[in-house]
Amino acid sequence: MKKYSHSAHHSLTELNITPLLDLAFVLLVIFIITTTPLVHDSDLKLPTAAKHEKDPPRKANYITVDADGRIYVNKKPVELATLQPVLAGLRADDPDLSVILRGDGRTTYGAVRAVLDACQQANVAKIDLATEPAR
C-alpha cells in the first residue's frame, strides 16, 4: 500500500470556498438592487377622465398583381397607365395612405417594379409587400 505525504493528502481534502463566497456576494447584490423599497404613499383620490374612443383602424388599400401582370386596386381592375392618378386620388382622400402590394409568385419582377414606381410617383410612402409565411 502506497503512503501519501500528509501535506499532499491534506490539500486534497480542503474545500476552496472563495468562488462560493463570490457567488453569494453577487447574488446578494442582485437581490438588493432588484428589490423595490416599500414606499407608503399617502392615499390619493385621483380625478376621473372621459373615456377616449379609439380611432377606427385605417382602411387597407390593396394593389394586386396577378400572374398575367393585370393590376387591381382594391379589387378593381386598373391599367398601369392610370395607376398613378388613381393612387394620387386615394392619397388626396387620405394623406397618410398606406398600400399593401400583393404580387403573385409567378408574375414578373418588372410588373411589380412598375407598380412600385407608380406608388413612388404618387408620393405613397407606406408600402408593404404581402407574403405567405414559410412552411
- Write the CA distances from 63 to 1, 57, 74, 121, 122, integer angstroms: 89, 19, 6, 15, 14
Q: 2-58 pLDDT, tens per residue?
A: 555 555 555 567 778 888 889 999 999 998 888 877 666 677 666 777 777 766 667
Cβ atoms 135, 99 nearer than 8 A:
no
C-alpha cell at 22: 463570490
Report the C-alpha gap between 106 and 23 in whole angstroms.
60
Q: Which domains does the chain show, CATH number per domain?
A: 61-129 (3.30.420.270)
Note the pTM of the prediction, 2 decimals.
0.56
Q: 76-118 pLDDT, tens per residue?
A: 999 989 999 999 999 888 888 889 998 888 888 888 999 999 9
